[in-house]
Structure 1
Amino acid sequence: MSLIIQYPQIDPELFSISLFGMEFALRWYALAYIAALILGWFIVVRLMARPKLWPNDEAPVTRQQVEELLTAVILGVVLGGRLGYVLFYRPAYYLQNPLEIPILWNGGMAFHGGFLGVVIAVIWFCRRHNLRLMSVADALALATPTGLLFGRLANFVNGELWGRPAEVPWAMVFPDPRAQVCPPEWVGACARHPSQLYEAGLEGIVLGLVLALLVFGARILKRPGVATGVFFAGYGISRFIVEYFRQADAQFITSENPMGHILSLGPVGVTMGQILSLPMIAIGVAVILHARRKAAA
């Protein structure tokens, strides 16, 4: 191995204070969520301030409704993300320990669950206010990559969700003892792909730029649903690709299945993250095709 990059030791806590015998801390992860929500709100508000981007030159949501929409999205992210993690990744454990399900501060959130929670929240919100569902979804599609970027950077700061063992020049040694366990035949330090940064780049920067170019260059908001479909498919493809470099969840890894594949055909297999991404890709393509047919009608 020509080069090993040591993980930059970053304290997950910005600061902590003691009050009444209890310790309260502001963590980078929480700050990432706060920043993502604030920037998401700002992006949606700015989009609504440009009615010429939308069908009939009319923004689908008022500024006041954006604030209520943000509340619904927060609930969808938290409840969906937690329940998704419980059901998709550790159902047996939480079936035996159901009182631990609400304990969010110990970690355990699933993007696909949070995404489904947001979908349900947005559908409820649009029906309540009689709004154009696909146009509202399009606005959120443009705002979401920023949140994904901050979230993946927070994963990196926390030293979690690292990648598979690697010999690439930018491979990194993560401090968690579990990240330092490589296959028996591995020689030298157990360096891994910084897959959190791969996800930040693909899901956050690349997908965000693609959507921005389509929205402000190709004016796709005039065709409700296209931006939403691009986001669905783009995220699914990005996550599917990164899963080849990201370490599978520990509960799926065994001595007979070191890659953590859920389905395998010899050396080729797919992880839980890839299985959950396939429906997103399919839905994204279907939404784009439906939006294009509707616009052509």
Structure 2
Amino acid sequence: MLSLLAATAAAEPIQWAELGLKPGIDLGFFTLRYYSLAYLGGLVLGFWHLSRMMKAPGSPLAQRHFDDLFFYCTLGVILGGRFGYVVFYKPELFGTLDMFKLWEGGMSFHGGVIGVLLAITWVAWRGGLNWLRVCDYLAVNVPFGMLLGRLANFINGELYGRPTDVSWAMVFPTDPMQVGRHPSQLYQAGLEGLLLLVIMLPLFWKTRARYRPGLLVGVFTVGVAGARFINEFFREPDSYLVHVVTDTGLSRGQWLSLPMIAVGLLVIGYALTRPPVGGAKAPAPQAA
């Protein structure tokens, strides 16, 4: 901490290596990586909160649906995230054994979203549930995992930002240029995780948004895609995708975020122009 303050005062880049961070917990025979813990923690915390949401009035989910969602959405996040990474970012891995090496890193946010949507579709179809309402309830909890995942990226010293001379710029050990960069992982944790929690939790608990199918998931989709679009201006593009920024002016992540924003706005519009489901009306005042 003292070195952090000293570097800031001297207007020199902060050395990430001097922060004392480690990529995981050394168990002797195995290193338990914080990125894995972040995935696990996000799932556990999200589904703990979902279990509380199910007990609130208006829930479309029963316990059996909750159990199915936990299982299939976990598969959707892992398999969809990895498959999306291979398709969108590393197509040369497709059809090789390396595409299954999850422990070597490489997960796609957009692929994870697709995997979760497929899982929700399967559970909703089997249980005869309103698909949009199931999406609403899950969307409220996704920012838990986003927050922990981005913090794990920072702890790992990976996915750092573009070169900058701001006073909080950091030099990351794996950076071949060894220059000060935006700690964009923290920006992402703040916008994609913390800010969305500040928006989504009160929207569910303090308003009647839960009774308008699609409103919660629409707000989440616009919020997370918009945050991703903004953060990509600070994040260093992967070396094999620099040409996308050079050729188009936007990163691959930004191009993938634009249709998500459009879809989210359409879903919000749909939700606000439809009557709320049963239970949304406030109780009538008692006669004096």
TM-score by length of 1: 0.86
1:284 and 2:278 matched: no
1:147 and 2:145 matched: yes
Runs of 4+ in 1 over 3 A off after TM superposition: none
Whichever residue aligns with residue 24 of structure 2, its letter is E
**8 Å contact kept, 1:41–1:67:** no
Higher percent of residues as strand: 1
Q: In the alignment, which residue of structure 2 is the partner of 1:136?
A: 134
Structure 1 unaligned residues grouped into runs of 5+: 19-23, 182-188
**8 Å contact kept, 1:137–1:225:** yes
Structure 2 unaligned residues grouped into runs of 5+: 1-9, 278-288
Deviation at 1:27, TM superposition (A): 1.1
Q: In the alignment, which residue of structure 2 is the partner of 1:168?
A: 166
The 5 A counterparts of 1:232-247 are: 232-247=221-236
- Distance across 1 between alignment mates of 2:75 and 2:126: 16
Q: In the alignment, which residue of structure 2 is the partner of 1:111?
A: 109
- Distance across 2 between alignment mates of 1:128 and 1:192: 48
Q: Secondary structure at the residue paired with 1:294?
A: coil
Q: In the alignment, which residue of structure 2 is the partner of 1:99?
A: 97
Alignment match of 1:12 (pick from 23, 26, 38): 23
1:42 and 2:48 matched: yes
**8 Å contact kept, 1:263–1:271:** no
Q: Deviations over 1:258-280 (max 9, x none)?
A: xx51642xxxx110000010111
- Distance across 1 between alignment mates of 2:40 and 2:154: 17
- Distance across 2 between alignment mates of 1:250 and 1:274: 16
Q: Deviations over 1:81-116 (max 9, x none)?
A: 11101010111x214x61211111111110100111
C-alpha change, 1:112 and 1:244, in structure 2 (3 Å) is same
**8 Å contact kept, 2:160–2:185:** yes
**8 Å contact kept, 2:213–2:276:** no
Q: Secondary structure at the residue paired with 2:100?
A: coil
Q: In the alignment, which residue of structure 1 is the partner of 2:245?
A: 261
**8 Å contact kept, 1:180–1:191:** no
Q: In the alignment, which residue of structure 2 is the partner of 1:293?
A: 273
**8 Å contact kept, 2:232–2:253:** yes
Q: How many residue pairs end up in the alignment?
A: 266
- Distance across 1 between alignment mates of 2:179 and 2:141: 37
Alignment match of 2:36 (pick from 20, 30, 34): 30
Deviation at 1:212, TM superposition (A): 1.5
Q: Secondary structure at the residue paired with 2:28?
A: strand
Q: Deviations over 1:25-76 (max 9, x none)?
A: 211111111111110111110001111xx3xxxx211133212211110110
Alignment identity in percent?
Answer: 44
Q: In the alignment, which residue of structure 2 is the partner of 1:66?
A: 66
Whichever residue aligns with residue 221 of structure 1, its letter is R
CA RMSD of superposed structures (Å): 1.7
1:270 and 2:250 matched: yes
- Distance across 1 between alignment mates of 2:25 and 2:126: 39
1:248 and 2:254 matched: no
TM-score by length of 2: 0.88
Q: In the alignment, which residue of structure 2 is the partner of 1:186?
A: none
